[in-house]
Amino acid sequence: MAYDGERYYRQHAKPVADMKDTMGAGDSFLTSFLMCYLDSAKRGDDGPETIERALDFAARFASTVCGMEGSWGHGAPISE
């Protein structure tokens, strides 16, 4: 969910081809949304379509992160 002060936006999750780990997916979503949105806003494109496009980009990026082990490309052993 996103809110621009006037309107709420809803973005559904994207499918994950090979789920491994969700660590880092939320951070990746937020960061990629902001980078995509701010890049467009710097060029004067900051309307509702820009928010929707940035949310879609962020959801796709976060889904790829879920296919990585440990969000760094490798897991870490956990001693019990």
Query: pLDDT (tens digit, 9 = 90+) per residue, 8-41?
Result: 999 999 999 899 888 889 999 999 999 999 999 9
pLDDT in tens, 33-50: 999 999 999 999 989 999
State the virtual CA torsion across 24, 25, 26, 31 in degrees, nearest 10: 80
How many angstroms separate the CA atoms of 27 and 44, rounded? 26
**pTM listed for this prediction:** 0.84
Within the chain, what is the greatest distance between any pair of CA atoms?
A: 53
Query: Averaged over 58-65, what is the pLDDT?
Result: 95
